[in-house]
Amino acid sequence: MQNLNENNEESSELLQLVSFMIDREEFGVNILCVQEINRLMQITKVPNVPDFVEGVINLRGRVIPVIDLRTKLKIQKKDRDNNTRIIVVEIEEKTIGFIVDSVKEVLRIPTSITEAPPEMVTGIDSDYIMAVAKLDDRLITLLNLEKILSNTEKEELQDVEQS
């Protein structure tokens, strides 16, 4: 009988996500990775960094590299506005900020409405994509933050933090 309950729990497992917009696409990341969400603040440029690194911010005394998710995901740049946010996340014990167009909401969705991503989703390299969630009227692309940066890029970010 216990085995049946475990299976039942597994099928109704919930994902908690922070959803955000880039262009007209909705993305989601695991809420457990998100430390905070901030309005756009002064970003200090750093020389000799990859093009997707916007610079660094001073967040309560901590220097945090900031990545433009539009550039990283090869989505055309646009002017930032009052809705632009920096989502501060923890990835493999590193704190990183991601610039997004706007943050939508915190969602709790059953894993049963997610499926593996198709080969190509919105022109983004599918290695970053964990799953696609099908809600009634929309699709949410779930990003795997651990894979959004290559090992080389993670090392480059380490250099940015130390400069």
Q: Give pLDDT tens digits for 32-82.
A: 999 999 999 999 999 988 889 999 999 999 999 999 999 988 889 899 999
Share of the chain above pLDDT 70, in %: 85
Task: Compute CA 10 distance to the chain's CA centroid, rounded to the nearest angstrom.
Answer: 25
Q: Could you please state the CATH topology (level 3) that the domain comprising 14-162 is classified under.
A: OB fold (Dihydrolipoamide Acetyltransferase, E2P) (2.40.50)
Helix, coil or strand: residue 157: helix
Domain ranges of the chain: 14-162
Share of the chain above pLDDT 90, in %: 58
For tokens 């167009």, the residue is 101
Q: pTM higher than 0.95 for the full model?
A: no
Residues 6+ apart with CB under 8 A from 96: 64, 65, 66, 67, 88, 89, 157
